[in-house]
Chains A and B, each alone.
Chain A
Amino acid sequence: MAYSDKVIDHYTNPRNVGTLDKSKTNVGTGLVGAPECGDVMRLQIEVDANNVITDAKFKTFGCGSAIASSSLATEWLKGKSIDDAMAIDNMDIVEELALPPVKIHCSVLAEDAIKAAINDYRVKNGLEALVAEKSHH
């Protein structure tokens, strides 16, 4: 199975690799997946007073598609409002990266990581966690 050029690009030059200070109240962290499953994604967002995501970072343990999905997610998150970020759908990632069917779970994981990071931010700031609608598995 060959990877698409976009997967290879994100994999080779991953954007926004790193760690934000998770003790800050305006930083939300999502850690999803499990080592036994071969995928773990950690996605972090930094949010300003206007509910806009000013920075996003990731680290991922997983295959090339998992790394590319999370790299792409951080790119999309920067500059988006929380509401717009919440609306990112895993199928958008599938389409952008041309992921084959066996790799769709990588995009689901990225969507889960986005929602987990947003919810972590919300809970930290006294808001209730949003219940994510079911992703396209």
Chain B
Amino acid sequence: MNLPIYLDNNATTPMDPRVLEAMIPYFTQKFGNAASRNHPFGWAAEEGVDYAREQVAKLIGANEKEIIFTSGATEANNLALKGVFEMYKDKGNHIITCTTEHKAVLDACKHIEKLGAEVTYLQVKSDGLIDLQELENAITDKTILVAIMYGNNEIGVIQPIKEISAIAHKRGALFFTDATQAVGKIPVDVNADGIDLMSFSAHKMYGPKGVGALYVRRKNPRVKVTAQMDGGGHERGMRSGTLNVPGIVGFGKACELCQLEMAEESKRLSALRDKLESSLTTLEESYVNGNREYRLPHVANISFKYVEGEGLMMAMKDMAVSSGSACTSASLEPSYVLKSLGLSDDLAHSSIRFGLGRFTTEEEVDFAIEQTKKAVNHLRDLSPLWEMFKEGIDLDKVEWVEH
């Protein structure tokens, strides 16, 4: 086992060596511009892109013409929200999303609000799932788009996508989902799930950084988005810019590998995740955040009460995880996702996200369990809150001197 170990696979994943191998020829030999139609260099690049487009489409049950390559999921989210609003604003100006979405979705919504959109932000229940009845109540005749993420990046909770898309379609709205954390990890099928637009990214599934895609439905209904960048009219006019050929080839290979290995991999990872969770929750006052049934196989988000997340990460030596405590950011605000679940600020500050991945071994998980237990116990010995809790003092009744 090599140290440090990497358990932050929801932030990014290491590239699979098989993906790198597929990409290499496209840097120096097949370096052509995929839009160069008049010579073999262009043809070779285009061939690589076409094949990758098929690989990507196949993973999500789409037609290859429905794949718009982008620089990543952030761009795809922006294109979906801004592009749909611009294209359909004459039909209506109402968009529905939820409070636990990624910042790329929330901030794009804030942007189009300034342009005249009206956005409803659905609250989630304490398990992280949205309330379908609330969605139904929120839809109006002006609703053009429902934007709800597939799997959450902090807690891994999977929303009831089929039900959500059915509700949207019943009222004539399009359904868009940010599936960055879900594609490649669990079966996602745009037709079975009723998805009209979907964003996802290569680097979350063992592919390269800097490439992602927006799925845009072509039939039943035919969906269009207004391009957000002007240029050569690439990607059916929806996303101009010379294609990132090596990145796209790598993305395709990554999708193919996910499709081949997903079933086995998700079984293995959920077993490791369960082991991690059941061991760590034997610690007193530790809580798993989010719904434990409807969730991605590779994420565990646990709050260890009375210790602070950033301090805890520092004590968890030789392992990379992330925390809902935002002590490093300027705002000092803890995770808005955890707060949306109704967690108090102190529990949100005490959370750690463990993200397992394709290259995580059982030995590493065992190491993580031991290190985490040691770290939590060490910091509780240092924690005045733990001492007060042990003395039976109700911390909610203490008058804190906030700074």
Check A62 against B401 for contact (C-beta < 8 Å). Answer: no
Residues of A within 8 A of B384 (CB): 31, 40-42, 59-61
Determine whether the beta carbon of A38 is less than 8 Å from that of B327: yes
Give the complex CA separation of A61 and B306 in angstroms: 7
B400 touches A38 (CB 8 A): no
Cβ–Cβ contact A64 & B381, under 8 A: no
Residue B44, interface by CB 8 Å: no
Interface positions, chain A 13-41, Cβ under 8 Å from B, are: 14, 17, 19, 31-41
B403 touches A66 (CB 8 A): no
Query: What CA separation (Å) do A40 and B382 show in the bound complex?
Result: 11
Cβ-defined contact, B346 with A39, below 8 A: no
- Residues in A whose Cβ lies below 8 Å from that of B279: none
- CB of B325 within 8 A of chain A? yes
Across the interface, do B403 and A112 meet the contact criterion of CB distance under 8 Å?
yes
Partner of B325, one of A11, A38, A41: A38
Q: Is the interface of A mostly helix, strand, loop or mixed?
A: mixed
A122 at the interface (CB under 8 A from B): no
Q: A3-B314, A41-B384, A63-B327 are in contact. Are A34 and B308 (CB under 8 A)?
A: no
Task: State which of A17, A61, A109 has its C-beta within 8 Å of the C-beta of B403.
Answer: A109
Within 8 A of A (CB), among B334-351: 334, 344-346, 349
Tell whether, in the assembled complex, residue A62 and residue B381 are in contact, meaning their CB atoms are under 8 Å apart.
Answer: no
Q: Which residues of A contact B401 (CB under 8 A)?
A: 31-34, 112, 116
- B310 part of interface (Cβ distance < 8 Å): yes
Flag if A33 contacts B402 (CB, 8 Å).
yes
**Interface flag for A102 (CB, 8 Å):** yes
Contact call A33/B403, Cβ cutoff below 8 A? yes
Chain B residues lying within 8 Å of A108, measured Cβ to Cβ, are 403
Among A38, A59, A112, residue most surrounded by chain B Cβ atoms (within 10 Å): A38
Complex contact A38–B387 (CB within 8 A): no
CA A42 to CA B393, docked complex, whole Å? 15
Cβ contact of A34, chosen from B307, B311, B334, B402, cutoff 8 A = B402
- Asked if A1 is at the interface of the complex by the 8 Å CB criterion, the answer is yes
Query: Shortest beta-carbon distance, B44 to chain A, in Å?
Result: 44
Residues of A within 8 A of B282 (CB): none
Please classify how large the interface on chain B is, using the bins under 10, 10 to 19, 20 to 34, 35 or more: 20 to 34
Q: CB-CB < 8 A to A66: which residues of B?
A: 308, 311
A105 touches B403 (CB 8 A): yes
> CA separation between A113 and B332, bound complex, in Å?
20
A54 nearest CB across to chain B (Å): 21
> Would you call A67 an interface residue if the criterion is a C-beta within 8 Å of the partner chain's C-beta atoms?
yes
**A40 with B400, Cβ < 8 A, contacts A1-B328, A14-B382, A35-B349 known:** yes
Which of B306, B330, B382, B402 is A36 in contact with, Cβ under 8 Å? Answer: B402
Chain B residues with CB under 8 A of A31? 384, 401
Contact B310 A63 (CB under 8 A): yes
A59: chain B residues within 8 A (beta carbon): 382-384, 387
Complex: A128 Cα to B325 Cα, angstroms: 38
The answer to whether B385 has its CB under 8 Å from any CB of chain A is: yes
Q: Name, among B307, B308, B309, the residue most crowded by chain A CB atoms within 10 Å (CB to CB).
A: B308
Checking B306, B311, B400 against A33 with a beta-carbon cut-off of 8 angstroms, the contacting residue is B400
For A35, the chain B residues whose CB sits under 8 A away are 345-346, 349, 385, 395, 400
CA distance A64 to B325 in the complex (A): 13
Q: Encode contact with B along A93-130: 1 for CB under 8 Å, 0 otherwise.
A: 00000000010010011001000100000000000000
- What residues of A have a CB within 8 angstroms of the CB of B325 in the complex? 38, 63
Chain B residues lying within 8 Å of A112, measured Cβ to Cβ, are 401, 403
Nearest CB of chain A from residue B325's CB, rounded to whole Å: 6
On whether A38 and B328 interact (CB within 8 A), knowing A63-B314, A112-B403, the answer reads no
Nearest CB in chain A: distance from B385 CB, A: 5
Are A62 and B308 in contact, with the CB atoms below 8 A? yes
Inter-chain CA distance A63–B328, complex, in Å, is 9
Complex: chain B residue closest to A108, CB-CB: B403
Binding site for A on B (CB under 8 A): 306-311, 314-315, 325, 327-330, 332, 334, 344-346, 349, 381-387, 395, 400-403
Nearest 8 pairs between A and B by C-beta?
A: A34-B400, A35-B346, A36-B345, A42-B384, A63-B310, A59-B384, A38-B349, A64-B314
| Extra 12 A-B pairs, beta carbons < 8 Å, given A35-B346, A39-B403 | A11-B314, A35-B345, A36-B346, A37-B402, A38-B309, A38-B345, A61-B306, A61-B382, A62-B311, A63-B327, A64-B314, A109-B403
A-B contact list, 20 entries, CB within 8 Å: A14-B382, A32-B403, A33-B401, A34-B400, A35-B349, A38-B309, A38-B327, A38-B349, A40-B385, A59-B387, A60-B383, A61-B307, A61-B385, A63-B308, A64-B314, A66-B311, A102-B329, A108-B403, A109-B403, A116-B401
Interface residues of A (CB under 8 A from B): 1, 3, 11, 14, 17, 19, 31-42, 59-64, 66-67, 102, 105, 108-109, 112, 116
